[in-house]
A = this chain, B = another copy of it.
Amino acid sequence: MDLKQVAKDTAKVLASYLTYQSVRIVVAQLSETNPAQAIWLNDFSTKNKIQDGEAYIDELLRENQDLGFRIMTVREYLAHDVTEFLPEMVCTGIQQANMEHRRQHLERITQLNWSVSTSHPEASIDSEPNLDNLSS
């Protein structure tokens, strides 16, 4: 398991995701102050794939340098203010989600066993002693 490579790939995906969030923030701001430009940026962002944040910014700078610089500023700000909380949030989030999956799975297989044991009593695991035998 190449942890260093996983960390590098994850950081790249995260940077692209923060670029996407910055675009959403700027579109929301523009829709209040300059609706025409908000529509333009929205159109541009659906045409130019935002999955690769760097290629997106590069293309945007060629079309509209002011918006390009604005989104770059917002994503730098987001990187500072959001990422510091992520390690804790992601660790706790995954731990809790895992626990919930285990709980649900246990519930599911218990219910399955229960429904099997009630519909086909002969196939059930003996959970109660057979009292008939005792009385005979």
**Which residues of A come within 8 Å of B, CB atoms?**
1, 3, 6-15, 17-18, 21, 25, 53-54, 57-58, 61-62, 65, 68-69, 72, 75-76, 78-87, 89-91, 93-95, 97-98, 101-102, 104-105, 108-109
Contact = CB atoms under 8 A, between A and B. Distances in A.
Given A9-B21, A18-B90, A61-B105, 10 more contacts: A3-B82, A6-B21, A7-B89, A11-B89, A15-B90, A57-B97, A57-B101, A58-B104, A72-B98, A79-B95
B8 A89 contact: yes
* Copies of the chain in the assembly: 2
A65 B105 contact: yes
A10 B83 CA distance: 9
